[in-house]
Amino acid sequence: MLLKIMEIWSYVQLPLCWLLFKRFARRNVLGEMIAGTIIGIFWEYSTEALWNYNFSFNIFKDIPPGVPLGWGVMFTLAVFLSEKLYFLFFSQTQGKPRDKRIFITDLISAVIIGLPFEKLGLITGVWTYNYEILNWSPSRIPVFDMPYEVMIGYSLLMLIAPTFVRYWQSSFE
């Protein structure tokens, strides 16, 4: 039953997230969502063998459409948070082009946004890791109780992907 709710939610989250951003932040995040979903498609396709998804409707092997769409929501939130942290930490009112300090806030927001999402997916059984293939170390992240490799993976991804989201967001709208 919980898995069914999560499957429905995986599609509902997109318009809901867009609406909430529009209502409370006066921001159109359609471009961020499209850019984030493109990254999600690449990511899920290239790492398909490493995890299992448990939804009933899939597009490629066991990958459900709701998962790449979820990356769209994740990147929208992470890029938004990173931007706010950047303003706060570096006393800026808008992002300076090619300011490398944005990597710092991107990494922080990866942990703040990405890890709870990842944990939620695991707890609710949306996905499971293929531990026997991944061969990860037994070290766990405190509080989240998740493998360290997840955090490193998120951090490396967040070094690269937000540039794509920020660069193309307006254009995709």
Partner 1 sequence: MLLKFMEVWSYLQAPVVAYLFWKLAKRNVIGDLIAGTIIGAYIEFATEPLWDYHFIITAYKDIPPGIVLGWGIMFTTAVFVSEKLYMLLFKQKQILPYDKRIFITDVIAAPMVGLPLEKIGLWTGVWDYHYELLNWSGITIPVFGMPLEALVGYGLLMMVAPTFVRYWQKGFEGR
Q: Of residues 35-64, which lie at the interface with partner 1 (CB under 8 A)?
A: 38-39, 41-43, 45-47, 49-50, 61
Q: Of residues 71-110, which lie at the interface with partner 1 (CB under 8 A)?
A: 98, 100
Q: Least distance in Å: CB of 114 to partner 1?
A: 13
> How many Å is the Cα radius of gyration of the chain?
16
Amino acid at 151: M
> Any idea what DSSP says for residue 112?
I
Nearer to partner 1, 46 or 94 (CB): 46
Residue 167 binds partner 1, judged by CB under 8 A = yes
CA 73, CA 70: separation in Å to the nearest integer? 5
Vertex 20: Cα angle to 164 and 91 (nearest 5): 60
Reduced to 3 states (helix: H, G, I; strand: E, B; else coil), residue 94 is coil
List contacts with partner 1 (CB under 8 A).
38-39, 41-43, 45-47, 49-50, 61, 98, 100, 133-135, 152-153, 156-157, 159-161, 163-164, 167-168, 170-171
